[in-house]
Amino acid sequence: MNRVTILFLALVSLGFIIATFDVRSDGDGVANVLREGTQSVFTPFQKGVDWVTTPVVGFVDGVSNLAGLRDENDRLAERVRELEAEVRATDALEEQVTQLELINGLEVAGELATVTARLYSGGVSPFDNARFIDKGASDGIVVGQAVVDEDGLVGRVDLVSANDARIRLITDPLVSVGVRVQSTNETGIVSGRGDGPLRLEMFRANEAVYVGDLVVTDGSRFPPGLVVGTIAETADAEVGFVLRSSVEPAANLSEVDYVKVIVGFTPVDVSLEESTTESVTSTTASTTSSTTTTVQGDS
């Protein structure tokens, strides 16, 4: 065996040891420190290149999609008309619900503080479901918070540095979200499959789910009522069996440029894991005054 082969085998073995160590430590500890350090080195370069290339890339993207723009425009105009009608109907219903809640002494739907952030870096490969945003701990962001765009849930924060954070998309196989099917009010869990529709599993379902049924968060890890997507496959409920279906994500995850991180809701798992979370979250209002907006939630 020559020197090159020995070096090759040694490095593959080292990679294997690192991978095993990372899996065993569940991505925490030294690995996390190394990830944060590496990202902090690359961030200025990534932001610089992103700033320089965004107009060019946008132009290339626009030219390549020119043919479909007219059809897309017509379709969107039609969709806007439909949504305007829905909004008028929803406004009336919302008013009714508010009045009923007040009458019954219930808490009126709250508004959750959010921080608007821009994605500046994508994944390193097609198998990578991480994205980086230009807001971090100094803006009140902590690990576990929900990330949304105008269409629905995008993912969760899984790594935070002072001025940046990494989000893991809901399509990541390691992300699971507690959900409720709005039409049946029954709960389940959706998990990513790396790409495309999400996997839905409902362990105590008594009613069938149908294509197009809205799926929202159930409030366990993320604020309740955030749109996750719609049922993509009709599935019947059978006693003693898990109802399995798939959910088409509402957010167009390949086209996300800006997101909102919901900083006004402390995730259950984070509050258990991190004793400092509460104090960080409680200072959110003061540290994010320039960028904080609100999003409707029913917490």
Binding site for another protein (CB under 8 A): 3-4, 7-8, 11-12, 14-23, 27, 31, 34-35, 38-39, 42, 45-46, 49-50, 53, 57, 60-61, 119-132, 158, 166, 168, 172-174, 193-197, 253-257
Which tokens in the block code for residue 239? 């006693």
Smallest distance from the beta carbon of 98 to another protein, in angstroms? 37
Which residue, among 138, 133, 137, has the nearest Cα to 155 in the 3D structure? 133
- Using a 10 angstrom Cβ sphere, with 0-12 exposed, 13-18 middle and 19 or more buried, the burial of residue 84 is exposed
**60-79 burial string, b = 16+ CB within 10 Å, else e?**
eeeeeeeeeeeeeeeeeeee
Which residue, among 156, 98, 164, has the nearest Cα to 296 in the 3D structure? 98
CB closer to another protein, 105 vs 126: 126
Smallest distance from the beta carbon of 10 to another protein, in angstroms? 9
CB closer to another protein, 249 vs 264: 249
What are the beta bridge partners of residue 119? 133
CB closer to another protein, 53 vs 299: 53
**10-47 burial string, b = 16+ CB within 10 Å, else e?**
eeeeeeeeeeeebeeeeeeeeebeebbeebeeebeebb
Which tokens in the block code for residue 61? 């993207």
Which tokens in the block code for residue 199? 């996997």
Smallest distance from the beta carbon of 271 to another protein, in angstroms? 23
CB closer to another protein, 44 vs 105: 44
What are the beta bridge partners of residue 114? 262, 293
CB closer to another protein, 127 vs 241: 127
Distance between CA 81 and CA 119 in Å, rounded?
30
Smallest distance from the beta carbon of 92 to another protein, in angstroms? 37
CB closer to another protein, 95 vs 257: 257
Smallest distance from the beta carbon of 1 to another protein, in angstroms? 13
Smallest distance from the beta carbon of 48 to another protein, in angstroms? 9
CB closer to another protein, 254 vs 276: 254
Distance between CA 172 and CA 100 in Å, rounded?
40
Smallest distance from the beta carbon of 31 to another protein, in angstroms? 5
Smallest distance from the beta carbon of 64 to another protein, in angstroms? 8
Distance between CA 99 and CA 96 in Å, rounded?
5
CB closer to another protein, 231 vs 232: 232
- Using a 10 angstrom Cβ sphere, with 0-12 exposed, 13-18 middle and 19 or more buried, the burial of residue 176 is middle
